[in-house]
Structure 1
Amino acid sequence: MNSQVEIHTEQAVPVNTGGADVVLACRGLRKSYRQGNRELEVLRGVELEVKRGEKLAIVGASGSGKSTLLNLLGGLDTPSSGEVWVADQNLSELDANQRGWLRNRSLGFVYQFHHLLGEFSALENVAMPLLIGKQAVSRAREEATEMLRAVGLGERLTHKPSQLSGGERQRVAIARALVTRPACVLMDEPTGNLDRATAKEIHKLMERLNGEMGISFVIVTHDPDLAAALDRCLHLIDGKLEHAGENRV
């Protein structure tokens, strides 16, 4: 990888690693926390590459560091050592404003709890990343409307989160994550707060949007059905990722 500090403002550019179409990668990623007189090492040299359009599951025991890894990959936390590359950019070489801009353009985030803004409508919640990225209001509303229709909520544009079901709120969160057409969406237990039937609907939705848009998904999950439906599954054990096999070709 070649160092490149200038931020791209066009569609997300893949990391070029040996000719592979890689959109997100980390090298030698380590993270430690100080607990009193003791240092707790959570991640111990994690290596990962995510290709364009790939759907990847990360599984592991509670407290194994899965959410920590996701936060580092998303530039929401800084590693103790190692590098994270997003859209051909080394995050360690960027300042806070540049990292924020890169996250807005190249990454989407979905969590177990939707984290929608309760005082805003579904349309306004989904348009928010575009407005933060300096998109014109009229264009942001058009793109947010299109994305909400894509997730089956075209009739819920003006509804606030309190007027939506749990599954609908999570669909809004997914639409918000996808509206900037990022290279990769990072998901932390996206169906963990849903009943089984609704979770299956969300699984199908993610599968369809991945096929239609070619966006990569990295999903931390305890759901064996979701993990089995993805292209690849990695286990986080003792601070390192271990290959769990290809789920399908």
Structure 2
Amino acid sequence: MNSQVEITEEQVASPNSGTDVVLACRTLRKSYRQGNKELQVLRGVELEVKAGEKLAIVGASGSGKSTLLNLLGGLDTPSAGEVWVAGQNLASLDANQRGWLRNRSLGFVYQFHHLLGEFSALENVAMPLLIGKQSVASAREAATAMLQAVGLGERLTHKPSQLSGGERQRVAIARALVTHPACVLMDEPTGNLDRATAKEIHKLMDRLNNEMGISFVIVTHDPDLAAALDRTLHLIDGALESDWHRGDHV
């Protein structure tokens, strides 16, 4: 008998489980072995992300920002501590359940878009829905609507090689949003773009956040992007330190 936690559609549809927290970690630790030494990367990180919140995580190169993002997304396993997504403790789920939960509750955007070059923009965006067992017709319809929402309604059949850097990143954002996740995790989403294009991506993320109510957790070195978000946290010596909250300055 499978003793693992069963996840229902209702739980994913209402990820807050009675609260407004969509993603959290408790005393999160991560270490790696380097020869005879143990390298401590994260040292008891505590974090709560609320519904609709836009949060920046900043820090020096090598401070563990991407490691933290991978742990929050269930792409890596912590050495200690817990990660909660959509009201579920990832440690209580098997690999299939974690994958199912990620597909429905989280989106991912990286500095390098990681689009599949042999597929069109429409096919790339539809992919998460097809993986989630939606029909081809409904996946194509949803992907078309999301690409239109990010301003690429005229580029549906274009492959990544036929798109500009900004357009490719818009496709990646559309792919992350197409499942209407509770939270999107972004790792340097504008780091590979020129300033003008990055500014357009900033505006796009802000508009989609306002329209869809999706939370964003963004690792960034871009001070303009961090300043435009609701909260900024610094990852220093393996722990998160609060910088400011927009509500404190209104």
Same fold? TM cut 0.5: yes
Work out the CA distance in 2 between the residues paired with 1:234 and 1:183: 20
TM-score under structure 1 length normalisation: 0.96
Secondary structure, in 3 states, of the residue corresponding to 2:174?
helix
User: How many pairs does the alignment contain?
Assistant: 244
Work out the CA distance in 1 between the residues paired with 2:241 and 2:8: 32
What does the per-residue CA deviation read over 1:91-136, in whole Å, with 9 as the maximum and x for residues that have no partner? 0010100000000000000000000000000000000000000001
Q: Which residues in structure 2 correspond to 1:1-249 (within 5 Å)?
A: 5-10=5-10, 11-16=12-17, 20-248=19-247
Unaligned runs of 5+ in 2: none
Deviation at 1:14, TM superposition (A): 2.8
Q: Percent identity?
A: 87
What does the per-residue CA deviation read over 1:56-83, in whole Å, with 9 as the maximum and x for residues that have no partner? 0000000000000000000000000000
**8 Å contact from structure 1 (residues 110, 186) kept in 2:** yes
**8 Å contact from structure 1 (residues 87, 106) kept in 2:** yes
Deviation at 1:85, TM superposition (A): 0.2
**8 Å contact from structure 1 (residues 12, 182) kept in 2:** no
Deviation at 1:5, TM superposition (A): 1.9
Secondary structure, in 3 states, of the residue corresponding to 1:222?
coil
Secondary structure, in 3 states, of the residue corresponding to 2:112?
coil
Work out the CA distance in 2 between the residues paired with 1:95 and 1:232: 32
AA matched with 2:146: M
Deviation at 1:232, TM superposition (A): 0.3
Work out the CA distance in 1 between the residues paired with 2:205 and 2:134: 25
AA matched with 1:78: T
Secondary structure, in 3 states, of the residue corresponding to 2:6?
coil
Work out the CA distance in 1 between the residues paired with 2:40 and 2:16: 28
Secondary structure, in 3 states, of the residue corresponding to 1:68?
helix
4+ runs deviating over 6 angstroms: none
Work out the CA distance in 1 between the residues paired with 2:87 and 2:213: 18
Work out the CA distance in 2 between the residues paired with 1:140 and 1:232: 34
Unaligned runs of 5+ in 1: none
Please tell me the root mean square deviation across aligned C-alpha atoms, in Å: 1.1
Work out the CA distance in 2 between the residues paired with 1:50 and 1:214: 13
Deviation at 1:247, TM superposition (A): 2.9
Work out the CA distance in 1 between the residues paired with 2:156 and 2:37: 50
**8 Å contact from structure 1 (residues 15, 85) kept in 2:** no
Work out the CA distance in 1 between the residues paired with 2:5 and 2:46: 22
AA matched with 1:196: R
AA matched with 2:32: Y
Work out the CA distance in 2 between the residues paired with 1:8 and 1:127: 23
AA matched with 2:88: Q
